[in-house]
Structure 1
């Protein structure tokens, strides 16, 4: 590890957040971004190879939403309807009655994420962020309209039908880096976020998955559930 960054910058962060660096591949860190995108040793993020088990794509704080016509999702302090989120009315409609899972990553989380099943992937769709005042002439009050930059792809999975997998970044931070893949295996790395807090959103169609009860109960009381990449979060409905 670069001695200056280790002693004066990164080491206090490691200690404050109780990060066990023995779990990560040894490398020199020449910037915060190097540290932020560090890679964990595979044995520290095992995953179930059972085809009916849905795994978490990332270390994160998870919230569950059932998808209804009037559902609004809170993502990075902004509210979205499903159509707003996807900018695609027809695609949004196909997920009515399904499940939305929001994985919120914070700076102390591992910022790489994986595929949740075997399958093939369509091209990424990038939606730039929006940030402006709604009413800039109203005295001293300036309501803000904001939508974050996001990228989503449609995954044709072997066991969970077509899954929308979306990465969300802030306007100035949380750069999204996806690997160029058209086919994938469960547990394989999909990409990573560069420096900044970030979020993953997954949409599953109706009658495909039963999410674990503790996640549902926590979400009903507006509590997030801490999960690790590869951890079981649900099972395929049979």
Structure 2
């Protein structure tokens, strides 16, 4: 897998986790082996373990292995691994771009942006989707014809809280049950994960980008999408929720002629490269 920073430096990520997942999802025997692990019941069981006090022993080894700068986060003693995983960033560690016409990322992520063609289809790497399949709602899918799908993938070492990208009125939230594949690209090559995984979405009637669809996608060992109680009106930079343990994804869908993606993210996505973006950072701007 290749990722790029905002200065154009491309890095080939060759982690042991990536290699293992490529082997598992790249073979029929591996996919059969992992099938029981992607069920919600297994995720719930693992979640209970990670909420227990015994799981706190895994926190310090994880920090060392992933070279995390804990100076970015509020100082506290973690009583479980999930408490650490849902840690809160300290004030000032992320800068929220408040320029009204700038379209910002709601999370720390590896971003890809994909145009929605005339039949509301789009491709993520080697896998074809339609907006209707993603939402399980044909009439709603047609509203985003000609727009863009923004796939914002969080890795396990990332900050797992997320914010609203603009001032907006939020619709009711729709939950779509499903299974819980990893969101690593290795799985996407084998399965249409974004239409199979558990997910939840709402429509944001924003001040600056018309209607934006915001979807949280669960992933392997992520049994919980923990959104805050819905309010009639929300603000850019306000925390919307967090994921429990595992890598996860936020999907944004923008309408035709509302947001122009930044050139580096658009170009990288076309070449199969994800772009490293921080929460609150500009990804595009209004037309």
- TM-score class, shorter-chain normalisation, is 0.7 to 0.9
Q: Is the 8 A contact 1:113 1:190 kept in 2?
A: yes
Residue 122 (structure 1) aligned with residue 171 (structure 2): yes
Q: 220, 224, 230: which is aligned to 2:270? A: 220
What residue ranges of structure 1 are gaps of 5+ in the alignment? 132-142
Secondary structure at 2:268 match in 1? helix
TM-score, with structure 2 as normaliser: 0.72
Q: Is the 8 A contact 1:148 1:171 kept in 2?
A: no
Structure 1 or 2: larger strand share? 1
Q: Is the 8 A contact 2:107 2:163 kept in 1?
A: yes
TM-score, with structure 1 as normaliser: 0.86
Corresponding position of 1:153:
202
Q: 59, 67, 83: which is aligned to 1:18? A: 67
Residue 108 (structure 1) aligned with residue 157 (structure 2): yes
Kindly report the root-mean-square deviation, in angstroms, between the aligned alpha carbons of the 2 structures. 2.3
Q: Deviations over 1:18-44 (max 9, x none)?
A: 211111111221111101100001201
Corresponding position of 1:196:
246
Corresponding position of 2:284:
234
Following the alignment from structure 2 to structure 1, what is the Cα–Cα distance between the partners of residues 86 and 142?
35
The alpha-carbon distance between structure 1 residues 41 and 130, as it changes in their structure 2 partners (threshold 3 A), is closer
Residue 65 (structure 1) aligned with residue 114 (structure 2): yes
- In the TM superposition, what is the alpha-carbon distance from 1:114 to its structure 2 partner? 0.4
Corresponding position of 2:233:
183
What residue ranges of structure 2 are gaps of 5+ in the alignment? 1-52, 181-189
- In the TM superposition, what is the alpha-carbon distance from 1:78 to its structure 2 partner? 7.1
Corresponding position of 1:83:
132
Q: Is the 8 A contact 2:146 2:256 kept in 1?
A: yes
Secondary structure at 2:157 match in 1? coil
Structure 1 or 2: larger helix share? 2
